[in-house]
Amino acid sequence: MNPQYQYDIFVIGGGSGGLTVVDEAQKLGKRVGLADYIKPSPHGTQWGTGGTCPNVGCIPKKLMHMTALIGEIRHELTATGWQGVDPHSKHDWNTLVNEVQRQVKGINKANDDWLVTTNGITYYNKLGKLKDDHTIELIDKDGQSEFVTAEYIVIAVGSRPSFPTDIPNVKLLTITSDDLFSLKKAPGKTLVVGASYVALECAGFLTGLGYDVTVMVRSILLRGFDQEMAERIGEFMKIQGTKFIRGTIPTSIEDVDGKRLVKWVLNGQEQSDIFDTVLLAIGRSADTQNLGLEQVGVQTNKESGKIIANDADSTSVSNIFAIGDCVQGRLELTPTAIMCGKRLIKRLYCNGNQIMEYSDVSTTVFTPLEYGCVGYSEDAAIKKFGKENLKIFTSEFTPLFWNFANRKGTCYAKLIVKKEDDIIIGFHYLGPDAAEVTQGFGVVIKLKAKKNDLDNVVGIHPSVAEEIVQMQTWK
């Protein structure tokens, strides 16, 4: 412990990454400080402790996604003889929002209790700003400042939704995922702008809840993901009733009697429609403005605002580290921020030498037909290894329980294998419980398993995952 400083380590930002650092350092007996402060959305939406994931990200999103899936099961319930279920019954938005917020507040309370009662942690519900390389200014909601010092500083301030710069009043005429999960009024007819994780997940569950939903796609679905899988997601969403307008962006959004008149240009023609809600999901920007980074010499990418850190999470100032969504080139996922925080503390205090690896991270897009993947997409594998050097196995299948109510559409899986050594370098699964199925195959890919290893695995029958160990069809 260096008595020169008040804290051994001070964390700015109490989300997935920041809270992990606090937890791990506290367990080692370190004097830990944390500043976490939520700047309200343009509509004034605010939330409690825990960062994006439990408040306005993974958790409320998954709860709403599951609610839509539960709605879908009404058809199977009716078909299998359950009495008193109306497959066409209406959904009540406010009941769902209240339940989601009840669960979110439960997580906030657990965090609050832990932060306030744990020895060694001092929690400031204040905005952190760097003053020099060991001093942090802490600003409360009334603008009052205090200063603290620390040997190490970790910046984990996450990201916030981006807005287009060329549409007047866009921040007030639209909502983002920061507002959706606590929205007081049902969204109604909704335009979702964007075509990646957030956009497709929200469009999927809103359609499932019974709203008239249109997705406006600037270019492709799910950039960076396997494009065959992405297109299949789009097709499935269309079957469920989501509409798509492809190859354009809004040119203007206006208020007309409380509704939103949206205009866009398609094939040279101006088109328009009126929506109750416009949900922007066009990516997220690092929350690094006004952090005092420049003043202290922490380098950022001038365009994105993201902090530049090396593999050991060190910024251009050696005792200041940065982890999670606010760092350039990192995957924006909760488990990566958590593992990164754990490894950082091990390196700082326990002679650890492992850095965070961002390759072969499993992920799932919680669209109505869920999509889990790990490793190379087909497109990226062909680019890197050449088509002639790959074997691509696929399987199209229908889960047994879909037959009760004759669900439309099919599920699909794909394995990408290097011919040279038979190693599986890409796993893609589009079907029920994708996160649960994909997690196990994440281990398979990490262990550099061969296709022959999978061929030696006896499947579990009847299941959807057995499709993956039985794949024999080459593309």
CA distance 101 to 134: 38
Q: How far is residue 230 from each of residues 222, 370, 378, 428, measured CA to CA in Å? A: 6, 11, 12, 11
No. of H helices and E strands in the chain? 14, 21
Q: Which of residues 190-209 bind ligand FAD (CB under 6 A)?
A: 198
Residue 368 binds ligand FAD, judged by CB under 6 A:
no
* Contact region with ligand FAD (CB under 6 A), list: 34-42, 71-79, 305-313, 421-429: 34-42
- Taking CA 366 as the corner, what is the angle to CA 361 and CA 369, rounded to the nearest 5 degrees? 115
* Contact region with ligand FAD (CB under 6 A), list: 15-23, 103-111, 260-268, 271-279: 15-23
Residue 194 binds ligand NDP, judged by CB under 6 A:
yes
**What is the DSSP secondary structure assignment for residue 198, as one 8-state letter?**
H
**Partner touching 287 among ligand FAD, ligand NDP, none, CB below 5 to 8 Å by kind:** ligand FAD
* Contact region with ligand NDP (CB under 6 A), list: 40-48, 118-126, 261-269, 327-335: 327-335
Contact between 148 and 34 (Cβ < 8 Å)? no
Strand partners, 430: 371, 412
Residue 363 binds ligand NDP, judged by CB under 6 A:
yes
Which residues are CB-neighbours of 316 under 8 A, at least 6 positions away?
297, 298, 299, 308
> What is the nearest approach in angstroms of ligand NDP to the Cβ of residue 95?
24
Element (DSSP H or E) covering residue 279: strand 277-280
> What is the nearest approach in angstroms of ligand NDP to the Cβ of residue 105?
22
Residue 249 binds ligand NDP, judged by CB under 6 A:
yes
> What single string gives the DSSP state of each residue in 83-98?
TT--TTPPP-HHHHHH
**What is the DSSP secondary structure assignment for residue 224, as one 8-state letter?**
T
Contacts with ligand NDP, 142-171, as mask; x by CB under 6 A: ----------------------x-------
**Partner touching 54 among ligand FAD, ligand NDP, none, CB below 5 to 8 Å by kind:** none
Q: Which of 65, 134, 160, 284 binds ligand NDP (CB under 6 A)?
A: 284
Q: Which of 292, 335, 409, 432 binds ligand FAD (CB under 6 A)?
A: 335
Q: Which of 95, 98, 145, 219 binds ligand NDP (CB under 6 A)?
A: 219
* Contact region with ligand NDP (CB under 6 A), list: 89-97, 213-221, 388-396, 409-417: 213-221
Amino acid, single-letter form, for residue 188: G
Element (DSSP H or E) covering residue 415: strand 411-418
Strands 121-124 and 127-132: unpaired
* Contact region with ligand FAD (CB under 6 A), list: 33-41, 259-267, 292-300, 398-406: 33-41
- Taking CA 163 as the corner, what is the angle to CA 158 and CA 167, rounded to the nearest 5 degrees? 170
Residue 233 binds ligand NDP, judged by CB under 6 A:
no
Q: Which of 177, 196, 277, 395 binds ligand FAD (CB under 6 A)?
A: 177
**Partner touching 53 among ligand NDP, ligand FAD, none, CB below 5 to 8 Å by kind:** ligand FAD
Q: Is 433 helix (H, G, I), strand (E, B) or coil?
A: coil
Strands 121-124 and 32-35: parallel
Q: Which of 47, 197, 236, 376 binds ligand NDP (CB under 6 A)?
A: 197
Percentages of the chain per state (helix, strand, coil), in multiples of 5 = 35, 25, 40
CA distance 424 to 409: 27
Report residue 111 as tokens: 């965090």
- Phi first, then psi: give them for residue 274, nearest 5 degrees: -110, 130
> What is the nearest approach in angstroms of ligand FAD to the Cβ of residue 456?
32
Contact between 471 and 393 (Cβ < 8 Å)? yes
Which residues are designated catalytic? 461
Q: Which of 42, 48, 58, 67 binds ligand FAD (CB under 6 A)?
A: 58
* Contact region with ligand NDP (CB under 6 A), list: 215-223, 228-236, 237-245, 403-411: 215-223
- Other Cβ atoms closer than 10 A to 389: 12
Q: Which of residues 83-142 bind ligand FAD (CB under 6 A)?
A: 127-128
Residues at the interface with ligand NDP (CB under 6 A): 164, 193-199, 201, 218-220, 223, 249, 281-284, 331-333, 363-366
Residues at the interface with ligand FAD (CB under 6 A): 12-18, 35-38, 51-53, 57-58, 61, 127-128, 156-158, 177, 198, 287, 291, 324-325, 332-335, 337
